[in-house]
Structure 1
Amino acid sequence: MRLSDEFVRSGSWLFRWRSYLPFLFLPLILIAAIRCPVIDSHPILHFVWSLLSLSVSLLGLAIRCHCIGHAAEATSGRNTKSQVAESLNITGFYSVVRHPLYLGNFLIAFGIVMHASALWLVVIYIMAFALYYERIMFAEEAFLQNKFGCEFMAWSTQTPAFLPRLRQWKKAEFPMDFPKVIRAETAAVAVIAFAFPALEFVMHHATEGSVAVENSWYALLASGVVLYAVARVMKRRLRRWLKYERILYAAAK
């Protein structure tokens, strides 16, 4: 098998399981958090670092929300079994980077890894992400090139793969679809809202013998729970509406 074919094959397999990579880091994140001495020795530094790491994750979430909210239908989805793209997104964040959703994933998880305050964990995460997602991006681009040909080649030639080139920003072609964003990003919101307070609980318990943390982390957790509940209700109503539409369509036939 040619090396390029092997990259596509392995990348397609990894594509199916791409959402589970962060979970492999949970034991390492917990180990780093337990051994974190910053809370006792430098509480102000810990607070500033916490805000910075949370901001990184929220930036990743914002990138994902913008991409999904402005994307054309049948693109930028959470499909896992195979690649799906009815058209080529080339505006919005797709005008400055070819894989903005994976950039968003990287930043969300990177912020959580940063919060654990361990340089060795940051290095391991960056290396693992590069090895894991390189194959996925290779397989995805092979699919897009095969489907869109010259259009993909023209776009990919001037658009970097992962590090954005902001000076060539083009306004998104489609208006923001907020309900779509809320339905699609339920999991990402839940991960951020749970991970940061949970790490704070672990850190405080390890260094102070207590799980008492700043009220801001409780507020983040509560906000995440509310947004998650709203998104779940919206998804349920959407499924009911689609089912009702199918019944009406079948009756009309």
Structure 2
Amino acid sequence: MIIQLGNFFFRYRNVIFIFLYLLLFALSMELFGAERWGDKYYFYPIVFGLIITISGQLIRGGTIGLAYIIRGGQNRKVYADELVTTGIFSHVRNPLYIGNILMLWGAGIMANSLLFTLVIMPLFVGIYQCIVLAEEDYLRKKFGQGFIDYTKKVNRWVPSLKGIGDTFSSMKFNWRRWLIKEYGTQFVWLLGIAFILLYKYPDLIGRDQATRIKYAVVCFLVIGTYYLTIRFIKKSGRWK
């Protein structure tokens, strides 16, 4: 049952996650309120949220830059052409999903949303758990004992930092692959951060509507230019 549910979530994950991501902007009780944290209460969700969400992106970047794993699926079904156990995958089996969870969790804290942090985030984690179980079922059937041996040595969710320095020093970090594989995720993530700051914290730039619109346009143009630039480089084949 859980495997079937995981395959369902995997098939429709893009639609489901976008809908849940938009709930960052839903009305909610605050995690940090002025009555307890003072007039500068917004400092705490912004700083804590940024630290966590950037950590998630760095984990994804480190994973992709060292040893990329093709888990995008095929025909919207779980698929893998090889069993990758090197790089960050030698320390934890699902570093990309851990990165996603931290990015979303940090964004929820930045949004100062009790709803997103305490309700939506556990839902995200539950969905990822189902997807991972479905992926593991596929990998076990395809790679057999090789995958079983891997699961005995490497945890599903809790990273082992033993030897992490050797992992980075022994492998070349491919920053071009990081940008090419990650620019779409970064585009959505950076836009989310920008609009959280503009929408949730109008006092940072002033409550004047025209000013906020101006900043929103500038953010969209800068982030959009980054997206289009990396996309052009990818399509041109310059960074193979």
**TM-score (structure 2 length as normaliser):** 0.80
Q: Select the residue among 74, 78, 89 that pairs with 2:72.
A: 78
| CA 1:96–1:241: 2 relative to 1, 3 Å | closer
Tell me if the contact between 2:66 and 2:88 (Cα under 8 Å) persists in the aligned partners.
Answer: no
Contact 2:63–2:88 (Cα < 8 Å) also in 1: yes
Correspondence for 2:167 among 161, 171, 188: 171
AA aligned to 2:104 is A
Task: Please say if residues 7 and 138 of structure 1, whose CA atoms lie closer than 8 Å, have aligned partners that are also in contact.
Answer: yes
1:224-250 deviation line (CA, Å, top 9, x unaligned): 334312211112212x999xxxxxxxx
Identity of aligned residues (%): 21
* Larger Rg computed on CA atoms: 1
Q: Tell me the alpha carbon deviations over residues 23-56 of structure 1, each in whole angstroms, 9 at most, x when there is no partner.
A: 2234532134797885897454423431321221
Equivalent in the alignment of 1:111: 106
- Counterpart of 1:250 in structure 2 is none
CA contact (8 A) 1:56 1:110 kept: yes
* Structure 2 SS opposite 1:29: helix
- Matched residues in 1 for 2:196 and 2:239: separation? 39
- Residue 20 (structure 1) aligned with residue 5 (structure 2): no
**How do 1:1-253 and structure 2 match up within 5 A?**
6-26=1-21, 28-32=23-27, 38=33, 42=38, 44-71=40-67, 75-79=69-73, 81-167=76-162, 169=164, 171=167, 175-205=172-202, 209-210=207-208, 212=211, 224-238=223-237
Q: CA deviation at 1:99?
A: 0.8
**Shift in Å at residue 127 of structure 1?**
1.8
Q: 1:185 is paired with a residue of what secondary structure?
A: helix
Using the TM superposition, give the Cα deviation of residue 218 of structure 1 relative to its aligned residue in structure 2, in angstroms. 9.2
1:67 maps to a residue whose letter is: T
| TM-score, length basis structure 1 | 0.76
Q: CA deviation at 1:143?
A: 1.0
Paired residue total: 233
Structure 1, gaps ≥5 residues long:
1-5, 243-253
Q: Residue type matched to 1:165 in 2?
A: S
